[in-house]
Structures are given as structure tokens and as C-alpha cells.
Structure 1
């Protein structure tokens, strides 16, 4: 199954596509991915056969890899690589994928450039019709449950707080058993918004299945459009990740997911007539605590 790209594969950043889908590749395809990440400029000028030889795979594997990434073929992938290289050439500062404690200034530039690329690609992949439907589901829901485990749990907690400020009844739990109990009590007027970078969590799959059995709408924020959770969800927002450029073993970035939550919050605020008054009421309620803290300082 190829990546879901809403008919816009030609406009996507090749590195972001590869990083987002890396865990779903077969071992031979990972060899191609590794080569493309490390030798992007060289690969942009290769033929299918040359890339196959360089990555120690086959022509057929290269062709399959391109399709699994959502590109029509190798030429489309090369065009994406070339476009990406041209964009990087126009950056004001030269950046790499290196992080070096002995060169903090350059390392910070490298991190910033890649995080900007993550956010830019995340927005680029958004389908506005799909996004508007998600916004309507959220603002008209009887209850919105935000669910996550591990690294993305803080995003769910932040989202529940933000939605509640707007006047949307929203909940999030830190304990998985409590999350599941909530999900199993949802109904057809409710929404569960799941945040999962990998989209492969067994616990969140159980939660999503329970919510769907009760008729609730399942919305997913994820890096991986091929994941089991992505297949289960009614609506998806696909985020970009470039964490693999920095770390070989551990992917921990939640920058894109946090940004998506912030976008949902701002867009909901702009479209809900009473949202601003709800936020003001909440801010007034907690202002006394803030004043106490200032006096202590």
C-alpha cells in the first residue's frame, strides 16, 4: 500500500516522506531510504539502475519503493529531490544534519532549519476540505476525548486544556486504563482525537476500536499514513518528521503534533462566535492565581 498523499505527491518534500514512512519499509527499502537520506544530491542525478546498485538492491525494489512513498515513479521522486535541493540552496544559512556539542551555533541552525522544514511540510500536506470537516466535528461534538500514550501524551493534555478554554467539553487522561474507559463510553455525538506519531500503538488501537464500535468519530494526528491507526481513523492529519536525520534509533519529536494542536485551537477560535468570551472567562478565573505568583516573585 502506498502512502496517502491526497494526490499531491509531486509537491511533497522527499526527505519528509521517507522519514515519516521509514518504519513501514521492508529491509531492502530501508537500504534505499538510508542512501537517499545520506546522498540526496548524488541520488538526484542517478538512474534506477545506479540507485539500485548504490543501495545494494534491485531495479524492481527501487520502483516499488517510489510507489510506496506515493510517487508515480522514479522520475517523480528525482524531481522532488531536485526541488528540495534547490530550496536548500536558497536558505540564508548553510545547514547540515549534524549536531555537534563542539559547534553549538551551527548545531542550533541545523536543528532550527529541520524543525522549520517539518512544520512547512506538515502544512503543505493538509487538505483544507478535510481540515474543515475535522473542525466541524470538533466544535459540534458533545464530548471530545484526546488520547495518546508515551511521548505524545503532553500534546493530548494540552489539547484538552485548549479546547476546554474555547467552550468545547474535552477530556484527556494520563492513565491508559482511564483513557480506554472514557472511549468505551463515547457515543455517536462524540469525537476521540488520537495523537500517535507511529500510529502503531496496540493500546490506542484497542481504544479506537471501542470508540468506533459505539459510533464515535475517530480523528488521528500521525506521522505514518500507512499505520494501523491511520486505516482505522475516520479522518487523518498527517504530520512530517525529520527526526531520523539527527537520531538513528530514537524518534521523539512532537513539534509537528504540537503545532497541529495549536492550529486547531486558533482555527476553532476564529470560527466559533463564543470562543473568545469563553477564553476571557477562563483567563479571568485564573488571573487571581497569576497575581499571587507575581507578588511572590
Structure 2
């Protein structure tokens, strides 16, 4: 693979198929935005199939689409700290402490505002109804998204013992295989496109277990399987993987779900929260 992925595409352009050239033309014209798109969104935008994109990436010597996005991000302008330099919130080594903090604050505000814009009352209530009626709610995610699944479990554990968090992907797979329509899987995946995620969700689908997905990409593979999709804000570059700003929107959605859940049975939930608060208070100095 050449150092610059755009150079590699240029060298291979004349040997590409008609659909491959169509894809390449779109990438050349939209290099900055392409790195933020899911494979489904890119396929729709340039009018080719997802299989064409996968073959295109492998023809460039890459393992797949995510590898391609990373290569694309690297050939774009980046700051001296490794982040993309085409957004106002990008932090540079030359920024003073005050500037750095203000840029980080701005990123978090962008994430919250975009998540609020995507929020749909009907969809949120569907998710709350599923959580409220569930026998067990399995909070799943992998990598950085696993941290968000743990946050959801920790938040809801103050008011109910029905929520279960499992870290290991193998154990998640086994739990999904034994879940039932009376359970719910609350899955966190910013990309909505990982192999472990697909395996778990396909098993849950076979078991007819309702799936609530928190993702940035509403047209991802995970979204195709999920029963309810909640979209978080903030467009994260492949070079920013695991950014706090991307998590802030997801935390906001967890809080919306939590208070919606508590509103279903306010007396019971208030008593449970009081009991857990008193239990924890004994551990404080």
C-alpha cells in the first residue's frame, strides 16, 4: 500500500470497474466527509453496493472499510497532536491551557446539542417501555463502547437489580443465546459495525430478544437488526477513536433513559434509590 491512500486510488483508477470508478470519484470529491461515514451511508451516497466498497478496500491492500477510513484520515491534514485539523475544536500543541479547555468544552457542547437534535420522543419512549417491562436488561458493548454499557448498568443499578453488565464478548454471546423475548439487550456501539457486535445481535434476533441500540450511525449493520435505535451526536474521526465528546452524547441518552424509567413507577424507584444511597453512605468516611 502506498503511503498516501489517495495516490494508491489514483494509480489504480484506470483498472477499476465502472462502480469502482464511481466510488473513487466520490471519495476524491468528498475526502474529508467520507472518513466520518458508515459503509452503508457511503454506499447510498455514491450509488454502489457495500460489497463493491469492501472489494475496493481490499484491492488497495487494506483489511476492510474501517482500515480504509483510517488510511483516509491519515492522508488528510492533521494537527501536531494527531487529530484532524479541519474542525474548530481541534487541539494543537501550541494551544495554551485556557484555549485547550475551551475547545474541549466546545466539543462536548456540540455532542450534547447534536444528540438532543436527533432525539425522538416516540423512539425514546419505546426504549423506556422495553426497559420497564424487561425481566433482565443486558448492557453490552465492546472496546470503548463497553465502558458506556458499564455506565448504563451502574446508573440503573441505583434503582433496580434487573440490569446486568457483561464485559467479555464470549460471555455476551452465551447470554444472548440464552436470552428470551422477556429480556432486553441494551447495546452500545458508536460505529454500529463490528464483528463481535454482529455476532451477539444476530443471536439475540434469533431468540426474538428486543434490542435497543445506541449508535452514531442509524444506517449501520447494527441498526438493521435493532428494534429501537437511539442516535448519539458528534462525528468522530478514526484518529479520534474513544474521544470523550463522543461518549458525552451517549451519557446524555443514558440519563434520559434512566429518568424515563424512573417516571414509570416513581414511588418504587424513589424508594430503591433511597435504599441504595443509604447503603453506600455507610461506606463513606
Asked if 1:108 is matched to 2:101, the reply is yes
Look up the match of 2:226: 233
In the alignment, which residue of structure 2 is the partner of 1:251?
Answer: 241
Counterpart residue number, 1:283: 277
Q: Deviations over 1:139-171 (max 9, x none)?
A: 110110011000111111121122232225010
- Structure 1 stretches of 4+ with a deviation exceeding 3 A read 26-37, 63-66
CA apart distance, 1:135: 0.4
In 2, distance between residues paired with 1:204 and 1:97?
A: 30
Q: Which among 249, 255, 272 is matched to residue 262 of structure 1?
A: 255
The CA deviation at 1:249 is 2.4
Q: Which stretch shows the higher mean deviation, 211-220 or 266-275?
A: 266-275
Distance 1:33 1:266, change over 3 A: farther
Q: Secondary structure at the match of 1:237?
A: strand
Report if the CA contact (8 A) 1:139-1:168 is conserved: no
Q: Residues 101 and 133 of structure 1: is their aligned pair in 2 closer, same or farther, counting only changes over 3 Å?
A: same
Alpha-carbon offset, residue 216 of structure 1: 0.7
Unmatched runs of 5 consecutive residues or more in structure 1: 1-25, 38-60, 67-94
Give the secondary-structure state (helix, strand or coil) at the position aligned to 1:97. coil
The alpha carbon displacement at 1:28 in A equals 4.2
Q: Which deviates more, 178-187 or 158-167?
A: 158-167
Give the CA deviation at 1:265: 1.2
In structure 2, the partner of 1:122 is 115
Q: Secondary structure at the match of 1:120?
A: helix
Unmatched runs of 5 consecutive residues or more in structure 2: 1-22, 35-41, 48-86
Say if 2:89 and 2:106, in contact at 8 Å, map to a contact too. no
Indicate yes or no: 2:137 matched with 1:137: no
1:175-194 equivalent positions in 2, closer than 5 A: 175-194=168-187
What TM-score comes out, normalization by structure 2 length? 0.68
Query: Secondary structure of the equivalent of 2:124?
Result: helix
Mapped partners of 2:137, 2:33: distance in 1: 41
SS state at 2:150 partner: helix
- How far, CA to CA, are the matches of 1:166 and 1:227 in structure 2? 32
TM-superposed deviation, 1:96: 2.3
- Per the alignment, residue 155 of structure 1 pairs with 148
Q: Alpha carbon RMSD of aligned pairs, Å?
A: 2.4
Q: Which residue of 1 aligns with 2:91?
A: 99
Q: Give the whole-Å Cα distance in 1 for the aligned partners of 2:281 and 2:131.
A: 27
